[in-house]
A and B are shown apart, each in its own frame.
Chain A
Amino acid sequence: MDVVWFVVLSTLIFAIGAAGVMTRRSPLVILLCTELMLNACSLALLAFARMHGSGDGQIFALIVMVVAACEVVIGLGLIVAIYRKRMAIDVDKLSELRG
């Protein structure tokens, strides 16, 4: 199979993720969309690794998974903390950092 299809699929998934981050207001969904973007990257990495026939890309993909796991831990932790404070789970309402 041509590597182009893998890249097209990866781009699509990335675009869906990015659009989700920009349009959704629930932090949980935003987190999921971030995961989508990360996984799209992993897919592209694996496709290129196979094209070149080397293992480097696969190792990168593994590292991306570790980063994603860490990010989920922090993101979910934040969401739980916000929830415990009985604040709205809505990123538009959490805008105290406005200059």
Chain B
Amino acid sequence: MSPADYGWLVLGFPLLGTLVLAFGWRWLPGRSAGWIGSASILASFISALGALQQLQERPEEERHIESSLFDYADTVGVSVELGILVDPLSVLMMLVVSGVSFLIHLYSVAYMAGDRGYARFFAYLNYFVFSMLLLVLAGNFVLLTVGWAFVGAASYLLISFWYRRETATQAGIKAFVMNVIGDVGLVVGAFLLFDGTEALDYAGVFEGAHLMKDGQLTAACICLLVGAFAKSAQIPLHTWLPDAMEGPTPVSALIHAATMVTAGVYLIARTHPLFELAPTAADVAAIIGTLTLVVAASIALVVTDLKRVIAYSTMSQIGYMVLGVSAFAYGAGLFHLMTHAFFKALLFMGAGSVIAAMGGIQSLDRMGGFRRAMPFTFVTFTIGALALAGFPLLSGFFSKDEIIALTLNRGGFYAVLGVIAYVAALITAFYAFRMVFRVFFGEPVEEARELEQGHLAHHDPANPMTGEHEDPDVGFPGPEHHIAEREWPMKAAMAPLALLSIVGGVVGIPGVTDTLEHFLEPAFEGSDHLGAHPSESDEQLGLAIGAVISLTGIAIAWALYLVRPTTTLRLRDYQLRAVHDFLAHKWYFDELYDIGIVRPAAACGRFGRTVIESVLVQDVIVGGSTAVVRAGSSLARGLQTGYLRSYAALLVTGLAGLALYFLITSS
């Protein structure tokens, strides 16, 4: 079998799983829906491994296989195939997406077991994986757009999964609207590219892009970036991601940390020949990525909702990836994408376990001392946090420093961006361990003490954001909670991720292995920047700086939260109150959008409804014409008296009148 056949299998299994679950949920008892969903993703992952093995058997110049099922459209000048493209880039994405998705499915088998929408959840989840794989396998811009829109829809469905929770449905709408802005950007970008190159498949567009006018190409790249930013939650289209945490925790792990939000990074890497021809657009992307990584990291310092801290951390880490691929360090950006998928999914799984142990409470202020009550979660969460903080020799250490080293190597203003990225790395290490120390260390809270006794806490079901009371029926979270300590599928999902978070870095140790970079080379062979590498001593210096920064951040967190726990409260309430308020309001982005966009739009809507619709349309146009018809008909009705004799009189009078008229005119 050729790699493309495996590619079709990778797509086929999740689609099959979706259909089976969507139509067969009525006949699937207990946890069987979860197992079917997991099995389909596992089959997809195995097919991806098959594609990898087949691809490696080929010589390097033949690792670019296109395959088409049928012609989607073939008319004058437009030729679109339902085709996929298998090359090292898409194989890497396939492996990461299907692999991490499988583990998260496995985790959800236990974690979602108490929920009334169990089969629906797995149908959505499989649908998401299918859409995401379609996105990364698409061989042309049309199919890419289809996958792009599908993942947006899947994200909406899963954020609003608890559809009776109003905050969740609102968050789903917010995410969908933002994503549609991105979809429009992507489509307009593809139109511009088609206008300039008369092709829609990647190879054709990249060939024709040389002949495009600079302005048009840059505009097309900026439009593509709008799509990438909306999907990857980069400023200014980022506000949906923290709200997306309203979805169930496995959804946050899968879609809003490991896979979907990295689609923007994938898009930039996939269309890299365009960005190399339009360096202005690449510069814009690098600046936005840097801005996002530092803004998001700063917000993560003060947010108290455990899941939202990790969400801001996700935004920040994707900022690193965007910076990497825009600085033409594709290998490094995708390396970080992979390691981030491991440790961020792990962090979310740990957070899910902690939230379950807290009986649904998500606030960091209420947590503490879970170290002894949940040893497994403690160890895995700490490994994830270490990898996130870039602790020496863990996966995040190598990938993050690779990005920063290559950015610094570009010189010019990229050096400034690299320095900012180092500062944000310090913040990252600090907030990562702020979570660890506040959740697992300190005085055990009531729930932790109960759990040490063997009792799992169950509070009255309530919305963690508003405190509103909820019933545990369908449309709300289920009545039972499940923690990793007691469910083997959850453990089985977290353990491999913890392992990968530790050793995932070995595929990209600079100067030693570089496996991933060599693997990806065929996909980026046309790039001018492939050989650009910092010298070995520079790389080692970078790694050393990264290690120092990471350890410093952890040490500061240790000093502030464990040695003198009251310091942070004092800072928050007195010395740094203004800064804290500014960060706690998330740099006032939501308020700004409210004043700048939402309210004017609402005012326009109100004007349209009260003035244009009700006065102009209803009263003048519709009301006016009916009034004319009404007046005319009431006149005609007046003649219809219903009296036979008056009709006869009218008839005779009329006839007599006519006769008289002819008599007069004829004589």
Chain A: residues with CB nearer than 8 A to chain B?
Answer: 18, 21-23, 25, 30, 91-92, 94-99
Interface of B is mostly: helix
Q: Which 9 A-B pairs have the closest CB atoms?
A: A98-B642, A95-B642, A99-B640, A99-B637, A91-B644, A97-B642, A21-B648, A22-B649, A22-B648
Interface of A is mostly: loop
Query: Which B residues are CB-close (under 8 A) to A94?
Result: 644
Min CB–CB distance B409 → chain A (angstroms): 91
Min CB–CB distance B46 → chain A (angstroms): 80
Query: Which B residues are CB-close (under 8 A) to A30?
Result: 644
- Determine whether the beta carbon of A99 is less than 8 Å from that of B638: yes
Does B69 reach chain A (CB closer than 8 Å)?
no
For B643, give its contact among A18, A21, A23, A95 (CB under 8 Å). A95
- Which residue from chain B places its CB closest to the CB of A33 in the assembled complex? B648
For A99, give its contact among B639, B645, B648, B652 (CB under 8 Å). B639
Extra inter-chain contacts (18) besides given A30-B644, A91-B643, A92-B644, CB under 8 Å: A18-B648, A18-B652, A21-B645, A21-B648, A22-B645, A22-B648, A22-B649, A92-B645, A95-B641, A95-B642, A95-B643, A95-B644, A97-B640, A97-B642, A98-B641, A99-B636, A99-B637, A99-B640
- Which residue from chain A places its CB closest to the CB of B638 in the assembled complex? A99
Query: Which A residues are CB-close (under 8 A) to B648?
Result: 18, 21-22
Query: Which B residues are CB-close (under 8 A) to A92?
Result: 643-645
Query: Which B residues are CB-close (under 8 A) to A21?
Result: 645, 648
**A99 CA / B637 CA spacing, docked (Å):** 5
- Determine whether the beta carbon of A98 is less than 8 Å from that of B652: no
Chain B: residues with CB nearer than 8 A to chain A?
Answer: 636-645, 648-649, 652
Query: Which A residues are CB-close (under 8 A) to B639?
Result: 99
17 contacts between A and B (CB under 8 A): A18-B648, A18-B652, A21-B645, A22-B645, A22-B648, A30-B644, A91-B645, A92-B644, A94-B644, A95-B643, A95-B644, A97-B640, A98-B640, A98-B643, A99-B638, A99-B639, A99-B642
Min CB–CB distance A63 → chain B (angstroms): 21
Query: Which B residues are CB-close (under 8 A) to A95?
Result: 641-644
- Which residue from chain B places its CB closest to the CB of A91 in the assembled complex? B644
**A50 CA / B233 CA spacing, docked (Å):** 105
Q: How many A-B residue pairs have CB under 8 A?
A: 35
**A99 CA / B644 CA spacing, docked (Å):** 13
- Which residue from chain A places its CB closest to the CB of B644 in the assembled complex? A91
**A49 CA / B639 CA spacing, docked (Å):** 40
**A30 CA / B638 CA spacing, docked (Å):** 25
**A90 CA / B566 CA spacing, docked (Å):** 104
Min CB–CB distance A66 → chain B (angstroms): 23
Query: Which B residues are CB-close (under 8 A) to A23?
Result: 645
Query: Which A residues are CB-close (under 8 A) to B649?
Result: 22
**A23 CA / B652 CA spacing, docked (Å):** 12
Min CB–CB distance A12 → chain B (angstroms): 15
- Determine whether the beta carbon of B642 is less than 8 Å from that of A96: yes
Min CB–CB distance B640 → chain A (angstroms): 3
- Which residue from chain A places its CB closest to the CB of B640 in the assembled complex? A99
Min CB–CB distance A80 → chain B (angstroms): 17
Min CB–CB distance A36 → chain B (angstroms): 14
**A64 CA / B638 CA spacing, docked (Å):** 34
Min CB–CB distance B637 → chain A (angstroms): 3
Residue of B636, B641, B642 with most partner-chain A CB within 10 A: B642
Min CB–CB distance A71 → chain B (angstroms): 15
- Which residue from chain B places its CB closest to the CB of A21 in the assembled complex? B648
Residue of A23, A25, A97 with most partner-chain B CB within 10 A: A97
Min CB–CB distance A92 → chain B (angstroms): 6
Query: Which A residues are CB-close (under 8 A) to B640?
Result: 97-99
**A99 CA / B634 CA spacing, docked (Å):** 9
Min CB–CB distance A94 → chain B (angstroms): 7
Query: Which B residues are CB-close (under 8 A) to A99?
Result: 636-640, 642
Min CB–CB distance A67 → chain B (angstroms): 17
**A15 CA / B644 CA spacing, docked (Å):** 18
- Which residue from chain B places its CB closest to the CB of A15 in the assembled complex? B652
Query: Which A residues are CB-close (under 8 A) to B637?
Result: 99
Min CB–CB distance B70 → chain A (angstroms): 64
**A62 CA / B645 CA spacing, docked (Å):** 28
**A65 CA / B512 CA spacing, docked (Å):** 121
- Which residue from chain A places its CB closest to the CB of B637 in the assembled complex? A99
Min CB–CB distance A48 → chain B (angstroms): 17
Query: Which A residues are CB-close (under 8 A) to B638?
Result: 99
**A79 CA / B367 CA spacing, docked (Å):** 96
**A95 CA / B646 CA spacing, docked (Å):** 11
| CB within 8 Å for A22 and B636 given contacts A91-B645, A95-B642 | no
**A61 CA / B417 CA spacing, docked (Å):** 112
Query: Which A residues are CB-close (under 8 A) to B644?
Result: 30, 91-92, 94-95
- Determine whether the beta carbon of B642 is less than 8 Å from that of A22: no
Min CB–CB distance A61 → chain B (angstroms): 21
Min CB–CB distance B589 → chain A (angstroms): 66
